[in-house]
Every structure is written in structure tokens, then in C-alpha cells.
Structure 1
Amino acid sequence: MSFDRASSGRDRTSLYSEITSRIITELEAGRLPWVQPWGRSDVGAGLGLPQNASTGRRYSGINILILWGAVFHHGFSGQTWLTFRQALALGGSVCKGERGTTVVYADRFVPDEARRRARETGEDAQSIPFLKRFTVFNTDQCDGLPDALVTVPPPIPDGLILPQAERLIRATGASLRIGGDKAYYSPALDYIQVPRPESYFEPINWHRTALHELGHWSGHPSRLNRNLSGSYGSKLYGQEELVAEMTSAFTCASLGIVPTVRHADYIGSWIEVLRDDDRAIIRAASAASKAADYLLGFLPETEGDHGQHGQEAA
């Protein structure tokens, strides 16, 4: 077996840099990766070390921090993990569109040349340390696994999600995942992620967030076909954020939900969009009306305010 020392060294350096950058990001956000907030309402999993669901072996070292971070950010309900092949071997599979978490395996390797030299000189062969990366998936990301390996997340307390909002979300058929510490819509995979209602200082604001992301969902090419390709901070991104926020406001009003206002940091980003284009608010409001009408159209006529919001000129 040949061993490319130079390429291995570059890959190892890159992997060290990746992991270190990830930890720095956590620290800059005010989180200590080795002190995860277990027991908090937005963290589904309980206290414990991550382990492989197939072998029962616990992960160690930096992999503990990596996998804890994944549980925290994605809101997974348990600390058990599998490789793609292990999920298949257990009779299950990784759900379509799921992205795995990269973990590392540290070992040492003795090159063939070093072995030959050691035999000739009688000296000990010098080994080379290396890191190997591989991908694992939380058991929450898998289907068809044995019941014993499936973690059931705790139910959301009664009353935190208002029934009219729950009916609307269910009626749309949107794929909405509850958990983690971030709210977003994935256009590529066509699903919505929102934290649990308990993680909000005022749980009523969960509705504004969920309906904001549902507003983005309405813009998918198979629905209202808005341009969702804007990168963070771009004009196109800011315009779509305005549309989603107003869609949420119009839909909340139609359903009789009164969330609190957005914080000043969000408002500041919208001001930049409006200063740059004095027609942006008119286009955004028109698109938001179409989106709200589209969403409310999934409900029976007896629910919500289904009146047309008007079509202003763009």
C-alpha cells in the first residue's frame, strides 16, 4: 500500500483548520461547545455522550464536540448515530435529502518504505499520524430502523401552537420540521425548519416565524415561482425577506394571531433595501398579498380572512 505523505499532511491540516474554525464560531457566538445546554426547551436530546447506534461504541475526543454541536443546531431528539451503510444493514435508510455530519478517526500509519528501512537497519519503523473523515447520520435522519433505535421527541405542550395555525400548516402539506436553534426554508430540499415554541421568550412569536418561513415556501418554483436564489446580504435576499415578513404579518392577521414586532436589527436590514429602491416596498407588498392569499386558500372558506388583498402595480 502506497502512502502519499504530502497529500495526507495537507488533508490533515485542512481538517484541523475546519474543526478549529467551527469551534471558534461557537465561541464567538457565546457558546461553549463542551458545555451544551442540555435540558433547555429547544434541545430535544438529554444529557449523555454520543454513541454509534449499531455498535454501541461511544464517540470520543473532538467527535463528542462535533456531534453535540450537530444535536444542538438541528434539534435532534437523541445522541445515536449511524453511517449510511450501517443504517442499511439495520433494515433502514437515510431519509432523502438529509445531510450527514463529518466526524474524524485518528490513527497512525507506517509507510512501506519505513517498514523496509526498519527491516534493513533493525530500528523501529516511524509511524505517521493521520486523520480520516467519515460521515454519520443521527437516527432522527433515518427511516425504517428497529423501534429500539428510534428516539421519539417530547410532545410540544398543549396550547403553544394555536389550532388555526396548525390547521393551516397541515393543510398546505408543507414539510415542517420542529427543532434546532435556527429557522429557515431550504428551497433545494423544499422543507421548513423552525425551533420548538418553548425556545422563544414569548411562544406566540413561534407563529410569526413559522409563517415567515411558510411565506418563503410559497415562492418555490412549483408554487408562486419567486426568485429565491439571492445570497445572504444581497438585494434579492433582502427583497425576499420583506416578502416573507409581510406574508407572515398578513397571514397572522387573517388568523387572528398577534405576535410582537421584530427586533431593530431586522428592521435595519429592511431599511437598507428600501433606501436603495423606492419601489421595493410596493413590489414586496404585492408579492406578500399573493403569497398570503395562496396560503390561506388551503383552508376551508369558513376559516381565516380569504378576501383578496389587492394587486398593486409593480
Structure 2
Amino acid sequence: MSRYDRTPRSGSERTNLYDEITGKIIAELEAGRFPWVQPWGKATAKAPLGLPQNASTGRAYSGINILILWGAVVQHGFPGQGWLTYRQAATLGGNVRKGERGTTVVYADRFTPEDEKRRARETGEEPGTIPFLKRFTVFNAAQCEGLPEDIAVAMPPPPPGLIEPRVEALIKATGIDFRIGGDRAFYVPALDHVVVPPPQAYFEPINWHRTALHELGHYAVSRIMPISGA
């Protein structure tokens, strides 16, 4: 579901949002990836060149949203530039996959209150307007399932030969929801799935296997010693 507030925001709230977005972009520009901190680099984006656009309406994003969505494509290695709100995905007959995290974009505009419109009609003056800012949470089409064929985008599988067959067989045998993509490795107990960056992002192939098995270890521990109340 898109998250936004129709209530006009104060100047300080708008400033905070601008600062938040600016800080995120600066962090991306300054971020370094070091082999002794984590054994993988940035995921490589597979999306075609072009402006990000709303996959439902076909409308291209503009302004700061272009940088935000390009950054998300690079960070997570998404294969397409199409984006949807949670509600738009549902309207198209699909849904956002469980556990997926959205990207926040913004929409800035002005509106004219009804009392200002009346005052303008009575005085012949220009009506006053109030600036507002909305936040929207959008998801890449690759984070969704069940979308129409002309919109659906699948994450490409790793190139053949990068995953040791015995490790791949072990992963499948666990029955866990094992996802490959992004630039972080983690296990989500509440949603029971593992996420690991793609093998091609690692400096050494063996380190992908170490990372994958490490995260599977968290999964195994959660099965042996389940969280109280879960």
C-alpha cells in the first residue's frame, strides 16, 4: 500500500525529508566495500538504460526520484526500471512478495484551499497556495509476482557454474525460501527466508558458499532453538 499523508507538511517536516533523502544519496556516493569487512562488492544492475517509470501508468519519474530509484536498481541489482505501489500491484492482479522492502519516493506540489478560492473570487486577487510533500513507497516489478506478462520482470538466475552443485542441492533440500539478490546477506526468522548477494558479486567464489552456509546456519539454529512464543 502506498504510504502518504494528505495533510500539508510544515517547513521543518519538509526539511527533514529533504535531509533524509540527501543523506541517503551522499551515503551511497561515499560508501566503500572492503574485502576484509564483507567478501562481496556492489550488486551489478541488469536493468536497461533509461528513466525509471511507473509500470502501471507508464509515467516516468522525475527530479530527485530518478536518483533514488537508480540507486535502488544499482544497490539491489534489479533487472528492470518499472516500479509499482503495493496497491497498483494488487490492482494488476499481482502482489508484492512477502518480506520485500520498498523504496521511498516523494511528490511535491501545491494546493489551493477552498477559502482561498472564495477570497480570490471575491477580491479578484490571486489565490494563495500551500506547498505539500507526499511520501510513496514503491516496489520494483522484480519484487512482485503474479503481474501481467507485459509488466512482470524476473530476477535473472546466477550464471551457470558459480554455485557448487552439492551446496545448491543442500539449499534445496532444506526447503527454505532462499533468495539471491541485493547487497546484504541475512536470515529473517519471522518470514523464514534467507537473502544472499549473487555469486557474481563476490571477489572469490568460495566466499559466496561460506556466506550462504552461514545464513543457513542461522536458519538451522532457529529450527533447533525456536524463538519463544513464535
TM range (shorter): 0.7 to 0.9
The match for 1:57 among 38, 56, 59 is 59
Match of 2:99 in 1: 97
Q: CA RMSD in A?
A: 2.4
* Alpha carbons of structure 1 residues 148 and 127: separation in structure 2 relative to 1, 3 Å: same
Asked whether the 8 Å contact 1:79–1:138 carries over to 2, the reply is: yes
TM-score, scaled relative to structure 2: 0.83
Q: Secondary structure at the match of 1:44?
A: coil
Q: Is the 8 A contact 1:180 1:194 kept in 2?
A: yes
2:43–2:75 CA contact under 8 A, matched in 1 = no
Instruction: Establish whether residue 115 from structure 1 lines up as the match of residue 108 from structure 2.
Output: no
Q: Secondary structure at the match of 1:204?
A: helix
Q: Give 1:199 shift.
A: 0.9
Q: Is the 8 A contact 1:139 1:151 kept in 2?
A: yes
Structure number with the higher helix fraction is 1
Say whether the 8 Å CA contact 2:43–2:181 is kept in structure 1: no
Structure 1 segments of 4 or more deviating over 4 A? none
- Greater RCO (CA < 8 Å, at least 6 residues apart): 2
CA 1:158/1:190 → structure 2, altered by over 3 Å: closer, same or farther?
Answer: same
Deviation of 1:190 (Å): 1.9
Q: Deviations over 1:45-85 (max 9, x none)?
A: 23222111111111111111221222223332211111222
Q: Distance in 2 between matches of 1:209 and 1:4?
A: 45
Q: Offset at 1:88?
A: 1.9
| Whole-angstrom CA distance in 2 between matches of 1:17 and 1:122 | 39
1:187 matched to which residue of 2?
A: 189
CA distance in 2, matches of 1:144, 1:124: 49
Larger radius of gyration: 1
SS of the residue 2:105 aligns to: strand
> How much does 1:41 deviate?
6.2
CA distance in structure 2 between the aligned counterparts of 1:216 and 1:44, rounded to whole angstroms: 30
For residue 20 of structure 2, the aligned residue among 18, 28, 41 is 18
TM-score, with structure 1 as normaliser:
0.62
State the 1:100 CA deviation: 2.1
Unmatched 5+ stretches in structure 2:
1-5, 34-41
Q: Which AA in structure 2 matches 1:125?
A: P
TM-aligned CA deviation for residue 4 of structure 1 = 6.4
Contact 1:44 1:179 in 2 (8 A): no
Distance 1:72-1:188 versus aligned 2 partners, 3 A rule: farther
Report the counterpart of residue 211 of structure 1 in structure 2. 213
CA contact (8 A) 1:160 1:204 kept: no
How has the CA–CA distance of structure 1 residues 153 and 219 changed in structure 2, closer, same or farther, with 3 Å as cutoff? same
Q: 1:69 aligned to 68, 71, 74, which one?
A: 71
Q: Which residue of 2 aligns with 1:311?
A: none
- Higher strand proportion (structure 1 or 2): 2
Aligned residues of 1:42 and 1:196 also touching (Cα < 8 A)? no
